[in-house]
Structure 1
């Protein structure tokens, strides 16, 4: 591994579907507990409590004719255009997702060929040395793709890597589960380039996988509606356990990554965290600063998009980054020399973090 080569972001892209689904669209749903017991409270009360906890007001769903690979292609094209890169010079295309391409009205997963191969094909890349593969790693998948790309680049094996996070979670949600209101669709992409002696670039990263008791906090299961006779599998979760797990572990992984990079808490200009749950993300930030003895947390350090975009899994962080770098997120900028922390948590249970110097 070369310590003189830095993995530098040279382009970003994203695709946010135009279909806005406000919370009121769930007013007529019949919600059930995971036990199959009907929730007897008024839906207006259920929805308001959901919004209070997650801060989600609306989310975006993909057009019916678009699959996850389509959204990934749109984001990738956007990143390639912004970087001015010849796509034939890409050494790797890493596509993070969880459920592959899913047709509307179905929960059947389609991953043959891989989404990475589909996107490479659609980009028209002829170079066989451009290796395309998928990375299923839960919500931290895009960030793990960035970490893998950094290893390739610093080893000298690769010069340029395209990392994509794309998902259509709306197609694997159980309409009878309150948690279905969390999920959204979208895609984000980033191009990393190896540069000798660069001051900017990835400084450090760390990943953990906890499976002793935590492996099935997120899982696939049948509908909460006991009257729905179907073999369909939907995304399910134990929200309380995930919340407690994230608050306990994510700040520690971030701290360890910062220590690896020689970054102090005062050096951090932004924290880009997976948009999973508004209240949870705010609590993670407070716990992080508390580790450094700081009680008054500067909330402007953590930009958020979850209120309007929902949780699009692997797409949340690269979309957030793209919007900031292109001045599309009011009140937030990243300047040259800024140190930015990236972090994510998700099924597995997996956690990762990265420190980047812009």
Structure 2
């Protein structure tokens, strides 16, 4: 099991309440002082390690920048598939689906629709809300497991936005945990790399990898894109308080879409290879999922991860204005809220309308909540993603 819950130096477990230039950092990468001021202290010596000689030692480094979420946007395909529509394809019905998942509709890419276009539209809306020009974007992180190019789709986003400064853009592949990882990565670039404006986009089209004859999985997934703009700010305005990230490869057997070799056709393989001499072409299988095991995994690890992140931030559940989880299953969302003792009126959910949109689900729900006035500037949000890999992670953030 891998664990990466530190932003700069995860081996330093020291937690201190008062500022000191020689203090170790939180395992989350963030340090908090009393009175609300914040800073990050990176120390090269962990507890229990042998100290370096004076010639080898390095002084602690204070990173005085904060980062905040200042804009959001989303986009969904026009084609809507209802539970009743699915009942014409597989043996199911609206009641069976809604009771077990909370889903009633989902949006699906069709025809000439492009996931990249959805991602660019969501990013454009985020920039407009933040009143930031595309040419001021320093970095684009596209969190997706379904790129439209094997080598990644992210560079197409700044192209579509008309960015003239050629900002770096790359994909992050972590399925339904991708957006949370994107937020933490954006914070790293802002705090440690001097970047000012980072677009974090969650976009997935899992419908392209669904077996539409499997009623256990085809009812779950939809397509969408959501984006936020993470912007550098003064430390006292910092809006990413703490995080907790994990992975467990043993759980991959419960949720995957593995690569398989295509069947050979005649004397030549489907990619033109000579039969028996060169590898044949390959593709990815449809999504394979053990729903019961994934459910057990989520209700076990997600609340614990949020509790760890809250502890690192020096906060409790009573400090949370909103709980925003990856929109996978309403029963999972309800179970986590119950564990954290959060009432339903403080839980954000739009699962019924869109289904599981993987990396897009958190920013899509956030965008709707912000634009409806539900989430307001200064609100504290506990968010968590979980899914294939298996991966999971949480972050405590403040909007605006």
Query: What TM-score do you get using the length of structure 2 for normalisation?
Result: 0.75
Q: 2:332 aligns with which of 280, 289, 312?
A: 280
Q: 2:145 aligns with which of 94, 98, 104?
A: 98
Computing the radius of gyration from Cα coordinates, the structure with the larger value is: 2
Alignment of 1:164-203 (within 5 A): 164-178=201-215, 179-203=217-241
Q: Cα offset for 1:356?
A: 1.2
In 1, Cα distance between equivalents of 2:87 and 2:235: 56
Q: Please report the RMSD computed on the Cα atoms of aligned residues, expressed in angstroms.
A: 2.0
In 2, Cα distance between equivalents of 1:158 and 1:273: 27
The DSSP-based 3-state class of the residue aligned with 1:336 is: coil
Q: Deviations over 1:181-219 (max 9, x none)?
A: 1000100001011111333511111101112x3122211
Q: 2:395 aligns with which of 341, 354, 357?
A: 354
Q: Deviations over 1:264-320 (max 9, x none)?
A: 11111101100001111111221233xxxxxxx411111111111111111110011
- Asked if 1:220 corresponds to 2:257, the answer is yes
**Runs of 4+ with >6 A deviation:** none
Aligned to 2:317: 265
The alignment of Structure 1 onto Structure 2 pairs a total of residues equal to 317
Alignment of 1:290-305 (within 5 A): 297-305=342-350
Where does the alignment leave 5 or more consecutive residues of structure 2 unmatched?
Answer: 1-7, 9-38, 41-63, 260-281
Whether the 8 Å contact between 1:200 and 1:337 is mirrored in structure 2 is no
Higher relative contact order (CA 8 A, sep 6+): 1
Q: 1:88 aligns with which of 135, 159, 170?
A: 135
Q: 2:362 aligns with which of 317, 325, 332?
A: 317
Aligned to 1:111: 150
Where does the alignment leave 5 or more consecutive residues of structure 1 unmatched?
Answer: 31-42, 102-109, 223-229, 290-296
In 2, Cα distance between equivalents of 1:88 and 1:191: 13
- Asked if 1:123 corresponds to 2:161, the answer is yes
Whether the 8 Å contact between 1:67 and 1:168 is mirrored in structure 2 is no
The DSSP-based 3-state class of the residue aligned with 1:198 is: helix
Aligned to 1:344: 385
Whether the 8 Å contact between 2:67 and 2:232 is mirrored in structure 1 is yes
Q: Cα offset for 1:337?
A: 2.9
Q: Cα offset for 1:28?
A: 2.8
Whether the 8 Å contact between 2:71 and 2:228 is mirrored in structure 1 is yes
In 2, Cα distance between equivalents of 1:167 and 1:52: 25
Q: Cα offset for 1:29?
A: 2.2
In 1, Cα distance between equivalents of 2:387 and 2:68: 25
